[in-house]
A and B are shown apart, each in its own frame.
Chain A
Amino acid sequence: MRVATDVGGTFTDLVFFDETGPDAGVIHTVKTDTTPPDFDLGVMDAVLKARLAPDCIGFFAHGTTAIINALTERNGAVVGLITTKGFRDIVEIARGNRPDFFNLRYLKPPPFVPRYLRREVPGRLNFKGEELTPIDLSPIPGIVASFREHGVEAVAICLLHSYANTTHEEAVLEAVCREWPEVSVIASHQIIRSWREYERCNTAILSAYVQPTTDRYLSRLESRLSGAGFNGRIFIMQSNGGVENIEAARKTPITLVESGPASGVLGAAALGRLIGEKNIIALDIGGTTAKCSLIENGNVHVNTSYAIERDRFHPGYPLLVSVVDIVEIGNGGGSIVWADEDHRLHVGPQSAGAVPGPVAYRRGGNKPTTTDANLFLGRINPDFLHGGEIKADMAGVQAAFYRLGGELGISCSEAARGVVRIANNNMINALKLVSLNRGYDPRDFTLLAFGGGGGMHAAMLAVELAVPRVIVPVNSGVFSAWGMLMSDLRRDYVQTYLTILTRDSIRKINQMVESMERMAIEALVSEGISRGGIQLQRMSNIRYYGQEHSVTVALPAGTLDESCLEEIVSRFKSIYEREYSYRLDNEVEFVGVHLTAFGAVGKSMPQPMPLTDASPRLALKGKRSVDFDVFGIHQADIYDRDKLQPGMRFNGAAVIEDAGSTILVLPDQLAKIDAYRNIHIATGNADSGSGGPR
């Protein structure tokens, strides 16, 4: 039995399937309430509700928003910092940027550690990792005593140039543990060996900040499960799109910061593998936000320039951890529609949430939302909200759009169409950020849409972006949890190593890469993963000499020698040209390696069902007048999603409904159901014919 649990802000989702037996591969889902601060209770509720026998569970994956919540709600530990002499103010100075730049009363975000808890030790390395001054541990006992006195609960250590040489940090780490064995402590090199002292230091501090609570919560989860008879293995979903065993996750909990969204993207990649789609734009539309991410040739894009609380006006707090590259915007089903003083229409980023909710929900919401616009246009069935649990207040919705149209000087239908068009345009801009802006042609991709609102908007977005196919997966409402079921163990190792690419340096790069790979393999093998189940991916960051920003280039397999040099440089130049439109003859500089190790943790795939030639009429519920904006108003066929069988196909205009979501098929588009009951929509756009990403 494989089980995945996803702790969200409101609900805890549980997804499971049997690996053997008559029911093998059939996905079952359960939803329970999330139970902060004891998230483990909600998880156990879900296990109970699913009537799972814990002793039959071999694989238990767990994703959680607890870490990001602890950060944004500021309820983590009191942290003390130990850093290099002369640099305790680095985290307060930060990078000095002021994105809100017309604001003469700008407030800089305060560091997570106040100045009096930031302490220094003498000892200095240079940028090559050579020791200039030996580390002096004599201040440590005094620092620890003072930390205890001030109620410090976790210690972060970050020394200058530790990415190049970890010995000083290791010495301080050891000294702190000796002096104060029970304290939670983390050194920056344990998370990442990448330069930029502010970012690395902040990463160590934020990891320390969430460490004690995460540790308590995960050990409680572990003991509750084993108390109930579970004797399988627990894996925790990380931000990088892979799982990690629970012991390692407890040591560096900051790697779990975007656990939830990452698993949705991972699910998209896994589904792609299952059905043979290698190039995917994953789109997750929820109540408050839309998130998108690009999967190229089966690979999830991961970057290390993540930050929390960063937006157009705030610099946020950077975290040097590997996070699936996701663009998120404040547009979802619950996004509130408003007109400003100049009668300009806006959608979001404020959301009506569950309460007061959209106007139609009769929970006190009086501002129209995207969902209300879709109801007004006939796209959502007013009699089937939440499977008919809620009877939509259509009079209220009509009144709201009448008012809005009055403010804008247009008809109420035009206002409702406008809302959807603006919401779609916001999403299009986000989708372009992950595709066109990075040099990828959307015509080479399939749009995979999930979350409550994915199917509602996908067909229209695909037309606009000229994407040839849309897929709305089965279980699209619990897709993140499904993604965890499909995941491998994943570890990212990032090492900064600056050198001009030459015949000499390529040998040194080879030495470094090989030793990193050896270390990664040894660690996984020692944890019981078979050598055959380990896959390595070696990427590098390369730039023209003099530049700051680099592009990611895959390194050739095997020993890197002189003969690879030309290959690497030519790969770099063509990737660079694709993104920025020109080549230079300048020297090429190597910046570092990003090694990823995947360990197979015994997954098995859902099984295909036989295709039928049954008529889609069996699933037809009726007809309804639906406004498809520029595609006209049509009497659309309404299908019951639960009755759609593998192999069925039909043309739009159509609407597919189930209790939790609505899927639009535009006029003349073709929908078909695959062997896993995913819905494929051919959008009528030709693909580019190039057969893959340019």
Chain B
Amino acid sequence: VNVKAAHDPISTEIVRNSLQAICDEMFLAMRKTAMSPIIYEVLDYGVAITDAHGNLTSSGAGLPGFIGMLDKSVRFIVEKFARTGKVRPEDIFMTNDPYNGGVTHLNDVCLILPVFAEGELVAWTANMAHWNDIGGIAPGSASTDAVEIFQEAVQFPGIKLFDEGKPNEAVLEIIRGNSRLPDQMIGDMWAGIAAIRIGKQRMEGLIEKFGAGLVRAAMAGYLDYGESVARRALKTLPKGVFSATDVLDDGRVLKVAIEITDSNFLVDLDECPDQDSGPYNLSIDGSLTAVELLFKCITSPSTVCNGGTFRPVRLKCRQRSIFNAQRPAAQGMYYEAFIRLFDVLWKALAPAIPTMTSAGHFGSICATIIGGLHPETGRHYNFIEPELGGWGAGQGIDGSSAQFSAFHGDTYICPVEINEARNGLLVDQICLNPLPGGEGTYRGGRGVQIDYRPLARKAWVTVAFTRSRTPPWGLNGGRDGSVNYIEVLRKNGAVERYGSASGMELGLGDVVRITTGNGGGYGDPRLRPIEAVMRDVENELLTRDRADEVYDLSRRM
């Protein structure tokens, strides 16, 4: 059927729908082929299609943060290679360097493939995924002790991994040689390549059917459409300057200001602290992504999201600050800087936009890395997982319990039965966090408690939690939530508490208890309906004493 002639709004619409369908397919291909739980379960990866210039037309991601990252990577490759005509069909480009288009930390490796039609570059398909170990001073390429990016992992500052379809064996050897888990890394690389190749094939099919001209025009029009949806939503937001502060666990203060005008969303981070001496830093690309994510959440959460969506966004941030770190600052724990930035921006807007927001959530990725020997196989295991925590209450709604942070999205917690088989440890319990916090007319959701018991020697734990001192913020009279931390319950009965630990040894019989925070409350607790308070008591999520103290229950009954 020749529909190439049909340059009509209907064909254009079909191309747009197909762009999303292709991303969905790319996303699924990687999930099903990946070798690491951080990809197939945590979904710490994203896929995207951009136009020839690197403008994001569609994307698929497990992490909302990843939605707006890949265009920045593609644009770097466009600058470095395409401008000078160095891109050939079947080339695959690679970057993980946050200072060179890599956006986040070195674990996040981007693979980028051009799509040509009749000799002309029409589009790119791209993939970014968390590679579990690509060298550096610590297993998992993540150490809270790193002070320079050189210590964290191997850097690929925008290179050709495949040359016209042929792999650069030298690079593959370097990856193998530097990784503690070489088979996994090569497997994950192929999974990423499967995803971008399927994307490219489908794009070629689309071009064959509709013609490159229509596909180009449809992509450009789609970006404009994304912009018009965003601008329309922007008009409905309250105008003015909104600011907030928050305190990091080490006492440093985050201070942000957002100015909303009829045409722009301007974020000023100039007053934030200097760049961190450790790995809690964000590149300017990473900070821009956090700002874009919040903009998306409060403007058009359930509709189109592409490069056009973010055109009204402006970011101001001085160099050498925590949100615009300069080489060679380490970035291994970039995600904690990301979530704290996102959270404080959210805090700035929540009082003014209560219908699109809620009180503060547990506000940390709570990345936990546990390693050791599998008691059955004797193989070394090492798993990294973000933890579930409580979300804040909002106007008219109690907060949800046991969800991943706002940094994550369609991420899945590993089942206990699979975790025990894979890693040979025992999970003694996993339950909702029973501690107080987050009370309000609407109450915050519950965090969790998980007890891990390693069953062989040489086990260790690394954690990098934030909000282990400053609790999630309540809103409009609601109580603050509770904090995130781990405890090591030593065999001898001693209990140690940490917010951050690097490679801490665990003896046989020791248990690591992870506790994540309850979300902030919304509104005065004394206005919470009695039956709702009683239901929490019956469900053993609230003691009678606490109900009297905070909800004034006895007096109201």
Contact = CB atoms under 8 A, between A and B. Distances in A.
Q: Do A and B bind each other?
A: yes
Interface of A: 85-90, 92-108, 114-116, 126-127, 132, 160-161, 163, 195-199, 313, 341-345, 408-410, 414, 417-418, 421-422, 425-426, 429, 432, 437, 463-464, 498, 544, 546-549, 579-582, 584, 586, 630
6 contacts: A97-B409, A98-B410, A103-B301, A105-B397, A425-B18, A498-B421
A168 to B, nearest CB: 14
B10 to A, nearest CB: 4
A100 B17 contact: no
Contact of B301 (A86, A100, A161, A429): A100
Contacts of A163: 417
B77 interface: no
A293 B451 CA distance: 43
B35 A429 contact: no
Contact of A102 (B29, B40, B194, B296): B296
B10 A418 contact: yes
Nearest to B395: A105
B404 A98 contact: yes
Contact of A198 (B32, B193, B415, B421): B415
Contact of B3 (A313, A582, A630): A630
Contact of A580 (B2, B29, B400): B29
Contact of B35 (A127, A160, A544): A544
Interface string B279-313: 00000000000000100111001100100000000
Given A95-B412, A100-B302, A163-B417, A87 B430 contact: yes
Nearest to B433: A89
Contacts of A87: 416, 429-431
Interface in B367-425: 388, 391, 394, 397, 400-404, 406, 408-413, 415-418, 420-421
Nearest to B183: A586
B17 A197 contact: no
A344 B409 CA distance: 28
Contacts of B406: 104
Interface residues of B, number: 87
Contacts of B34: 547-548
B10 A581 contact: no
Contact of B10 (A107, A195, A421): A421
B13 A344 contact: yes
A114 B32 contact: no
Contact of B417 (A132, A195, A426): A195
Interface in B1-37: 1-3, 6, 8-11, 13-14, 17-18, 21, 25, 28-29, 31-37
B395 to A, nearest CB: 8
B415 A196 contact: yes
A630 B2 contact: yes
Contacts of B40: 547-549
B534 to A, nearest CB: 11
B432 to A, nearest CB: 5
B346 interface: yes
Contacts of B403: 96, 98, 106, 108
B458 interface: no
Interface stretch (B49-57, B158-166, B224-232, B325-333): B224-232
A586 B187 contact: yes
Contacts of B428: 86
B400 A341 contact: no
Most buried by B among A105, A199, A417, A498: A105
A659 to B, nearest CB: 32
Given A89-B432, A102-B305, A463 B297 contact: no
Nearest to B353: A104
Given A93-B388, A104-B406, A581-B194, A161 B417 contact: yes
B375 to A, nearest CB: 10
Contacts of B431: 86-89
Interface in B486-509: none
Contact of B410 (A86, A97, A463): A97
A544 B187 contact: yes
A546 B183 contact: yes
A104 B297 contact: yes
Interface stretch (B100-108, B119-127, B536-544): B536-544
B356 A92 contact: no
A198 B414 CA distance: 10
Contact of B9 (A127, A408, A548): A408
B215 to A, nearest CB: 15
B197 interface: yes
Given A93-B432, A584-B187, A197 B10 contact: no
Contacts of B404: 96-98
Given A93-B388, A96-B388, A580-B33, A108 B9 contact: no
Contacts of A199: 415
A105 B183 contact: no
A99 B415 contact: no
